[in-house]
Structures are given as structure tokens and as C-alpha cells.
A and B are shown apart, each in its own frame.
Chain A
Amino acid sequence: DAGVTQSPTHLIKTRGQQVTLRCSPKSGHDTVSWYQQALGQGPQFIFQYYEEEERQRGNFPDRFSGHQFPNYSSELNVNALLLGDSALYLCASSFRTGWIEDTEAFFGQGTRLTVV
């Protein structure tokens, strides 16, 4: 059973560019969340998608946007990259039944984004 898979594993971008990160959830999961983990810090919640809609958002600017596809996979887009966007971006998936999240979040290996 494949877990949460993220691509690419590493990425180097120039300040001002745009980037797209991809995530495939664990089989059977329908909810995807994205987290940013700066060096030496704990992960910070960016947003969560369920049924192709953004359901909750953390304290991140509009430069951060996302999408969830009918097959539950998800993309994280970051526009106008800043040096401070350099971080490990983690995708987590889970399964929910209506109002209740039935499983804990399973995390992918992350995408290491470096902005130069």
C-alpha cells in the first residue's frame, strides 16, 4: 500500500518565480492538508482540501493557493516566491466521514523547496 507520495523531492527556484508541488494521498484517503516546515521549526498549517474545496486555511498569504482533483490528489502553488518560502513542504492525508475525521494524518516525505 503506497503511502502519501509527494513530488518533486527537491526543487530550487529563483525569487519571484512560481512553483507547483504535488501530492497523492494514501489509498482510501479523501482529505489533504499542506504544511510548511521551516528549518528548525515545527510544521505550520497552510490549508486543507476536502471534496475539492478549501475547508480551512492557516495564516498564509494569498500567494499560497491549492487545488484538489477528483481523484483526491492535490497541488500547492506558490506565486512570487520569496527567500523566506524556502522550507520543507509536507502533505498529509486522512479520511473523514462527514463531520468527523476518521483517521489520523499520514504524512509524505515532503518537498524541499529552496528559493535563491
Chain B
Amino acid sequence: AQSVTQLGSHVSVSEGALVLLRCNYSSSVPPYLFWYVQYPNQGLQLLLKYTSAATLVKGINGFEAEFKKSETSFHLTKPSAHMSDAAEYFCAVSGRTGFQKLVFGTGTRLLVSP
């Protein structure tokens, strides 16, 4: 069984500050890990994904995440927040072969203040 836990349902930062969204996973097999962003009344957009090629994964819009097997973590960071980053962020895990499903966390709402 696979699962992810996102710590903090809401994270507030000031514009220009570091963004850190936390995700811990549980998986009995080597996982693929994903971060998705959801803007209000929209679908999910992939920010980045970990597939084992490199532990530090760079995504779109300046986001990156680091896979730490020893900590079972895949935290999302961005050095400097922008107002447009305000959205809901979801961490997800899946297996690597066969017919896989995405298992999502409960999400973290990022609030950016000027």
C-alpha cells in the first residue's frame, strides 16, 4: 500500500520568502513521486516528478523537490515566492510498473501575502 502525508493544510509566506511544503510518503515498493498544483476551479498541473534519475528534481515555475529515502520525504521548495504561486499543492505517489494509480495527499494551500 502507498500513501502520502502532507504536513500543514495551510502555509503562509510573504512575497519573496522561501516556500517549503512538506510531504512524507509510505511505499512498499520503490515509488514515483509527484507534486501537482491546482488553481481555483481548475484541474491539476504537474510541477515535477521523481522517477529515480536524480534525487533533486527541478520543475516548472522555479520549484524543486528533493527525494530523501532515509527520511521518506519529498519536500517542495521555491527560493522566492510570487503572488501567482498562491494555490493548492498536492503530493502524490505511485508505483513504477503495471497499471498504477496516483495516491494523493490531502493538499496544502499556499497563501502569499504582499
The answer to whether B43 touches A41, judged by C-beta atoms less than 8 angstroms apart, is: no
Is B114 part of the binding interface, using a Cβ–Cβ cutoff of 8 Å?
Answer: no
Which residues on the B side are within 8 Å of A110 (C-beta)?
42-43
Which residues on the A side are within 8 Å of B104 (C-beta)?
42-44
Closest B residue by C-beta to A44 = B104
Q: How far is the CA of A76 from the CA of B91 in the complex (A)?
A: 25
In the complex, which range does the number of interface residues on chain A fall in?
A: 20 to 34
The answer to whether B45 touches A50, judged by C-beta atoms less than 8 angstroms apart, is: no
Is B103 part of the binding interface, using a Cβ–Cβ cutoff of 8 Å?
Answer: yes
The answer to whether B45 touches A107, judged by C-beta atoms less than 8 angstroms apart, is: yes
Is A48 part of the binding interface, using a Cβ–Cβ cutoff of 8 Å?
Answer: yes
Main secondary structure of the interface of A (DSSP, over half): strand
The answer to whether A106 touches B99, judged by C-beta atoms less than 8 angstroms apart, is: no
A45 to chain B, nearest CB (A): 4
CB under 8 Å from chain B, chain A span 97-112: 99-101, 104-110, 112
Q: How far is the CA of A92 from the CA of B23 in the complex (A)?
A: 22
Q: How far is the CA of A104 from the CA of B48 in the complex (A)?
A: 10
Is A21 part of the binding interface, using a Cβ–Cβ cutoff of 8 Å?
Answer: no
A66 to chain B, nearest CB (A): 14
Partner-A contacts on B (CB < 8 A)? 34, 36, 41-46, 49, 90, 92, 97-107
Listed A/B pairs (13) with beta-carbon separation below 8 Å = A4-B43, A33-B102, A42-B92, A42-B107, A43-B104, A56-B101, A90-B44, A92-B102, A101-B99, A104-B34, A106-B46, A107-B45, A109-B42
Given contacts A33-B101, A41-B107, 15 further A-B contacts (CB under 8 A): A33-B102, A35-B102, A40-B107, A41-B106, A42-B90, A42-B107, A43-B102, A45-B103, A56-B100, A56-B101, A92-B44, A104-B34, A105-B46, A110-B42, A110-B43
